[in-house]
Structure 1
Amino acid sequence: MSGATPIKIRNLEASRLASYVQEQIRRLIPFCDESDFALIDRHLPEALARLDHCIAAVRIWTPGAFDVLQSAQYCTFLYYLANTIWRRERAENLCTKLFLLNKQLNAIEIFYDIALPDIFLIGHSVGIVLAKADYGNHLVLFQNSTVGRHGDDRPVIEDGVILYPNTAVIGRSLIRQGSIVSQGVRVIDRETEARKIAFQGTGNSLIFKEDRNNTLALYFRDV
């Protein structure tokens, strides 16, 4: 691995991380073109620096430590790696492999060109599908949460939003700052109220209640 990173890697020697990712791709896509594999090594320090910044903000994680066997952390790392390589190199072939690897390992669909925020938390990755949208910082995502477009309409998600399991944010929707979308709620071409919990009403309507517990602070430091 070229360069240096302040983050400590657990359950794998830091110098072997690039090779570890490359071998996983080989096993997923046998006999694939490896001519762009050097880009993994080249951009690993930046991807790890982005991951380090994110981990430091997440309350349940140990700052300065990345465990390759912690699936939510590894899932986040693969996104940052693919997104970093895409932003720097526009290496579509390699970024697609990293996207497919993340999908295979973690049952999550985050395309490499989607701009997720600097700080976010994946509670459980299974079934998460994220389309291109505007994503604010301190985002929390749980299993089977979906962010999707409706034609050319795409959601806007402001800072400090929590999407609990089986939620859907679709189309021309605005999820305002500090909103909590409770389990199973569908927000389709609707707006939430800032710093309130959204529950499903009748039809496509929403009901809002106060968040009296500063729920976001359960997941992040300094919020």
Structure 2
Amino acid sequence: MKILNLERSRLGAYVRTQITHFFPVGSEQDLRVIDTHLEEALSRLEHCIAQVRLWTPGQFDVLHSSQYCIFLYYLANTIWKREQARTVCVKLFLLNKALNAIDCFYEIELPNVFFIGHSVGIVLAKATYGNHLVLYQNSTVGKNHGESPTLGDGVILYPNTAVLGNSFVHSRSIISQGVSVINQNTRAGCVVYQGVNGGLVFKEPKHNILADFFRDA
């Protein structure tokens, strides 16, 4: 994969420099684990980018905030799964939070293909996430009384949405801007609007909205 605005050989050092700038604590030697798992993280990112219609396959721009946000998640998640190097993973999580205003913990299992429109204000809890997920600013997936939601494949969360608690968001559900799904289920393949008294209203989309985002949708 071609890396734009930075030589590939400098990517590991680039990430380590950012971490030490924001969080000048601990041993810099511990950060060398980043280099060990960099290629696997880039491979995961390349697969994701290849499916996003708005992005050029085979190209990763380190100055593209959404792409870099996804890269930092994949890097932290890869390191956690391979070595459980908690301190490094925490620093990568905090770096993503500082740069992109996203709360996306490294232990969360996000899908192989997902798209972030704008990362600002996104909060993701330890829930179940399906493939081809779309996230926009201020969207929240969170627990309620200890219960966490399940999101099927092809779910779109538009700005200022929330999916909380014991909710099942069925595949290809499109949560409209400002809608909250709290301890409720959606209908598959429908646009979800806010009804009265916290209820939900479902309407069929006029076209395949998911195909606007992904090449294989």
- Identity %, equivalent residues: 62
Q: Which residue of 2 aligns with 1:4?
A: none
**Distance in 2 between residues matched to 1:174 and 1:22, nearest whole Å:** 39
Separation in 2 of the partners of 1:124 and 1:80?
17
Distance across 2 between alignment mates of 1:124 and 1:88:
29
Kindly indicate whether residue 144 of structure 2 is the aligned counterpart of residue 150 of structure 1: yes
SS of the residue corresponding to residue 28 of structure 2 reads coil
Q: Deviations over 1:85-105 (max 9, x none)?
A: 000000000000000000000
Residue of structure 2 aligned with 1:188, choices 182, 187, 191? 182
Aligned AA (1:110): C
> Could you tell me which of 104, 110, 134 is aligned with 1:110?
104
Q: 1:34: Cα distance to partner?
A: 1.7
**Structure 2 residue 42 is matched with structure 1 residue 70:** no
In structure 2, C-alpha distance between the alignment counterparts of 1:144 and 1:176, rounded to whole Å: 21
Per-residue deviation, residues 6-52 of structure 1 (Å, max 9, x unmatched) = x1100000000000000000110124322311110000000000000
Q: Does the residue aligned with 1:35 lie in a helix, a strand or coil?
A: helix
2: distance between equivalents of 1:146 and 1:222? 26
Find the aligned partners of 2:206 and 2:84 in 1 and give their Cα distance: 44
| Matched residue SS, 1:199 | strand
* 1:121 match: 115
2:13 is matched with 19
Give yes or no for the alignment of 1:141 onto 2:128. Answer: no
2:36 alignment partner AA: R
Aligned with 1:218 (options 204, 212, 216) = 212
Q: Aligned equivalents of 1:31 and 1:191: distance in 2?
A: 44
Contact 1:142 1:164 in 2 (8 A): yes
**How many angstroms apart in 1 are the aligned matches of 2:104 and 2:7?**
27
Q: Write the letter of the residue equivalent to 2:60.
A: F
Choose between structure 1 and 2: higher helix proportion. Answer: 2
| Matches of 2:2 and 2:46, distance apart in 1 | 9
* Matched length: 217
- Which of 149, 164, 168 does residue 174 from structure 1 map onto? 168
Aligned partners of 2:155, 2:2: CA distance in 1, in Å? 29
In structure 2, the gaps of 5 or more residues are: none
Q: Deviations over 1:73-118 (max 9, x none)?
A: 0000000000000000000000000000000000000000000000
Structure 2: distance between partners of 1:92 and 1:159? 29
Contact preservation (8 Å) 1:26, 1:32: no
Picking from 14, 19, 23, the partner of 1:29 is 23
Q: Distance in 2 between matches of 1:17 and 1:151?
A: 41
Q: TM-score, normalized by length of structure 1?
A: 0.96
* Structure 1 segments of 4+ aligned residues over 4 angstroms from their partners: none
What is the TM-score normalised by the length of structure 2?
0.99
CA distance in 1, matches of 2:25, 2:113: 35
How far apart are the structure 2 equivalents of 1:35 and 1:150?
40
CA RMSD of aligned residues (A): 0.6
- 1:206 is aligned to 200
- For residues 44-67 of structure 1, what are the alpha-carbon distances to aligned partners after superposition, in whole Å with 9 as ceiling and x for unaligned? 000000000000000000000000
